[in-house]
A and B are shown apart, each in its own frame.
Chain A
């Protein structure tokens, strides 16, 4: 029982989807923030002088990275029923992506010339000052484009949050589709919104990467 594309349903669904899109954007921005900060912490912890720190950090990271985000989300939502779904979504997304961004930071930190570390030792700067004043400012500048790319891919994974009842765009699309039996219009529209939002951003990131000389 095929039916043709209904343009009225598109006009009808668009405001609802855009309402959900705000939640999608919020989750992406806050999730990226968590991933950016936590990823840096993991990368710095991974360089700790003691193996009692580095080995567990690396093991947990490999585990989180190799297991599905959806299971992590659903599991976290089932365990912490009293926490708001959006909060759970942001934290789980952030932690999941932090395991990826930490690798980016690690590569950035490795890229800082060895002489910089040696100079810090020669000046007998304490570790805190070494990181804060010398290493990180040089490392972070180089990793910004890669972090941006992870933000884009996180953006495209926010539909997972619909599963734990966060009312983001795909949640609204599924609801509209079920209520009006108009899945075609709702999902096509949602897909276009993703395309329109992510494609220019990834072009911008590519440009930024070129300018920073990668």
Chain B
């Protein structure tokens, strides 16, 4: 009796400790952002802010170019992820469903492409973009981000496509659909969770990208939020209230997106990874 009580207690106790460990940094970011400066530099940290202030957020929002950069980040992220989804969907269908010469070679190509250390190729990329006269533009960023997330998108979507039973497609074709129709009417709706999962990771990657925009877009108005956040911190130094407000503004869109899409993302990822 006693044993089973302990047996039931320790997982729950561990879970509580883990919850605190994982959630605390996020909580601390928001808490600091809303705290008056006096509370931030108190000798004993104020864990539950009582008088919240929006002062730090005002400071962050009024920083140079903030809204332009928000627009840039959103545009680059959304366009690059949508483009990569369309391209990846075509490719993943071929890789999951068709038998053809060189199939393994293609899969290996994308696996290796997934490992591409973009950070270390920035010099070459800088020269290519410069020669194409596209420095300080969002176009080059968008295309590079698209290819950055493409291999992961293809390989994961391929798992989702493979997880859809072949019979569904075949019976649709027996019923008179062409292969394209079978795909758009039967397979595509079933892929919705997969598309969400993969786009989620694409969003995070593109939203976060930092070294490339650092090199390619020196012009302040052509930059994106990660640069703003890192330079914000340099400019504002030890003003942790403003810095945490800036970090919160940067993190919130992804946090919201993630909490909404997470469940679908996970179920899909698993069906993709655990096959065979």
- Is chain B found bound to chain A in the same assembly? no
Which residues of A are interface residues toward B (Cβ below 8 A)?
A: none
Q: Mark B residues whose CB is within 8 Å of A.
A: none
